[in-house]
Each structure stands twice: as structure tokens, then as C-alpha cells.
Structure 1
Amino acid sequence: MWWFGRKGASGFSGSSTAEEVTNGIDGSGLTAVVTGASSGIGAETSRVLALRGVHVVMGVRNMNAGREVKDKIVQEIPSAKVDAMELDLNSMASVRKFASEFNSSKHPLNILM
């Protein structure tokens, strides 16, 4: 399947990284909530958004794993604005609690992933 490696009209392909795609973007002043941020694509999304200056609120089920990811991001990017908040999307009570705590923070919600 040779066409998966070809660059499209955007200049990117399926093999482009998040860092390549966001290069030159200044996310200062933006706040993103990233669910599933304690591992995999959620953790990488959080890292790259933080790299671009976005204030990242990581919604995580496992707070210990979330803190570890947060600490790694801050170690790599000392100026990163990253918070880990408990969020279990299988529980409406957890979703309501997360939403209430996020609203209390008075941060805008610019990006939800």
C-alpha cells in the first residue's frame, strides 16, 4: 500500500508525527482536556500539546499513572502547564465530578480530545 507513505495536499502523510504537524504552532492561552491521557496516544497528545504551550488537563482513571505521565512531561518540558484530574468515562458520577472541578478552575475549554 504505497499511497499511505505519500504526502497529501497538507504536506503530511500517515507517517507524520504530532510534533511535525504542530511545528510552529503557539498554543499559549489555550486549554485542552485530554481523556485517556495516562498512556498511549492520550499521553503523547498531552506531551505534544504541552510542548506547544497549551495548558493540558489530563483526564485519567488511574491517578498514579497520570501523575507519572505528568512528571515525565514536566521533566522534558519544564515550562509545561499540565494537570492530572481523575476521570472515569464509564461512570457518570465521575464525569460530573470532573466537569464540576474543571468548571471551578475557571479555565476555558478550547480543545477536548
Structure 2
Amino acid sequence: MPPSRLLLVEDEDDLRFLICDALSDLGYEVTTASNGKEAIAELNGESRFDHVVTDVSMPHGISGLDVAAEAAKVQPLARLVLVSGYQRSQLPQIPEGTRFLPKPYRIHQLLGVLQDEEA
């Protein structure tokens, strides 16, 4: 079975690098984006993703909710995970079928959400 392709959208550089390295070590093929604009460009490019993991709050006017909505539209087979320091109840409605993971989280928690999604 080929590795799962994952788009990781995180504006905090250190966290993005850490998570990318950890998921790559676990066999995921990870593409990263540091903001919503980069993420939407990746989603509309030639790559197809099995998972899209995006922070909700990001700079430059395109939020993780915008990224999730675009992913649902252009890559409907991708499984979506939103992460945020906000509680889910503090966020606007998230796209149906999207998983939510509160920050801070540990790699094993993210992995659990991803593996649960694959089952």
C-alpha cells in the first residue's frame, strides 16, 4: 500500500517542521504550507491528498476553515482535520465530516485521528 499523502498547513514554523518530520518518519508523504494561500495553491495543483491537516488561525486572511472548505470542494476524498487552540464551541461551523483536534496536541493524538480516519 502506498504511503498516505498529507497536506500539513501550519503557520508556526517550528511546529510545522516538527510535525512534518514526525509524520514523515511514520511513513506519511507530507507536503507543507505555511499559510492558507499556499495550502489552496497545493489543493488546486496536481497533487492529490489523503489527509489535510490545517490550523484554524492563520495569517494573510485565509483561515483553516477556508482551507477546509476548499479541500472539501476540490479534493472531496481527502479527510480533513482542523486543529486549533480555540475550543470547538468557539469556532464557526466546520465542514461535515471534518475531525477536530485541540491544541496543544501530541503526535500520538494526531496519529490517532489520522489512523481512525483511515479505518
Q: Which has the higher contact order (CA 8 A, sep 6+)?
A: 1
Q: Which of the pair has more CA radius of gyration?
A: 1
Q: TM-score, normalised by structure 2?
A: 0.44
Q: TM-score, normalised by structure 1?
A: 0.46
